């Protein structure tokens, strides 16, 4: 029997929306979300223009909305979000593909730039492994910074290689939807770009 593993990007590939934005709306409410988005717009525009990194722009958002939040409080809200909101964002075709792969005996791993805090609950429910961005915590509070590197672009590949012995697999499936997923798609024997749209 062939040994198979599948790596899925989460936001946009499995979901219909970016879960970072959705967790902020859920946690803070729409009014505070849009106000914060407007305040941080210069950083987002600077990222889009290539003047600052994806990580720098993301940390500005995280710092604005979540810096100094107690980890326990944050995790409780993330688990609520994962239980009540994430299922509403999942693309049915993506879930069907995941279930088919699991039924065939493949390992399935979510590889996401979003924080593990609000994805882990959903992954655990569906027997999926998770590699995601880790948020920095000091004295049991979020700092608004990312621990080490954002799990995006080449970092997805670095994290996958650190966790799995890829030559041991006969087939590697990769699923993504943005240029940030292209390095990961390059690992695949079978790659799929925007497959569930």
Over the stretch 22-65, which tens digit does the pLDDT of each residue have? 999 999 999 999 999 999 989 989 988 889 998 999 999 999 99
- The candidate with the shortest Cα–Cα distance to 173, out of 10, 12, 8, is 8
Q: How many domains does the chain have?
A: 1
CATH number at residue 117: 3.40.50.1000
Average predicted confidence (pLDDT) for the chain:
96
Give Cα 31 distance to the centre of its chain: 24
Q: What is the model's pLDDT at position 49?
A: 87
Q: What is the model's pLDDT at position 176?
A: 98
Average pLDDT over residues 85-99: 97
Any bridge partners for residue 133, and if so which? Answer: 115
Find the Cα–Cα–Cα–Cα dihedral 98, 99, 100, 105, rounded to 10°.
Answer: 90
What are the pLDDT digits (tens) for 119-167?
999 999 999 999 999 999 999 999 999 999 999 999 999 999 999 999 9
Q: What are phi and psi of 190, to 5 degrees?
A: -135, 110
Q: What is the model's pLDDT at position 57?
A: 93
Checking if the pLDDT of 83 tops 90, the result is yes
pTM here?
A: 0.94
What is the sign of the dihedral through the CA atoms of 47, 79, 16 and 105?
A: positive
Structure tokens at 64: 């604005």
The upper half-sphere exposure of residue 79, i.e. CA atoms within 13 Å in the direction of its Cβ, equals 8
Give Cα 138 distance to the centre of its chain: 22
User: CA 173 to CA 83: how far, in whole Å?
Assistant: 27
- When pLDDT is cut at 50, 70 and 90, the band that residue 101 belongs to is very high
Task: Identify the residue with better confidence: 44 or 74.
Answer: 74
User: CA 97 to CA 155: how far, in whole Å?
Assistant: 25
Q: What is the model's pLDDT at position 47?
A: 87
Identify the domain containing residue 126 by its residue range: 4-193
- Can you give the length of the chain in residues? 197
Q: Are 57 and 47 in contact (CB under 8 A)?
A: yes
């Amino acid at each position: 029997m062939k040994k198979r593993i599948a790596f899925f990007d989460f936001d946009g590939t499995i979901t219909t929306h970016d879960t970072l934005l959705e967790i902020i709306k859920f946690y803070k409410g729409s009014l505070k979300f849009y106000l914060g988005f407007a305040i941080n717009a210069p950083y987002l525009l600077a990222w889009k223009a290539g003047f600052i990194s994806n990580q720098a722009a993301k940390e500005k958002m995280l710092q604005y909305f979540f810096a100094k939040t107690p980890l326990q409080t944050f995790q409780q809200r993330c688990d609520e979000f994962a239980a009540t909101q994430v299922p509403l964002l999942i693309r049915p075709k993506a879930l069907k593909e995941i279930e088919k792969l699991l039924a065939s005996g493949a390992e399935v791993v979510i590889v996401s730039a979003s924080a593990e805090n609000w994805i882990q609950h959903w992954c655990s429910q569906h027997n999926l492994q998770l590699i995601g961005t880790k948020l920095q915590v000091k004295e049991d509070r979020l700092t608004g910074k990312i621990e080490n590197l954002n799990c995006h672009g080449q970092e997805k590949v670095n994290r996958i290689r650190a966790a799995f012995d890829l030559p041991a697999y006969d087939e590697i499936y990769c699923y993504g939807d943005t240029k940030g997923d292209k390095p990961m798609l390059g690992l695949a024997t079978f790659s799929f770009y925007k497959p569930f749209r």
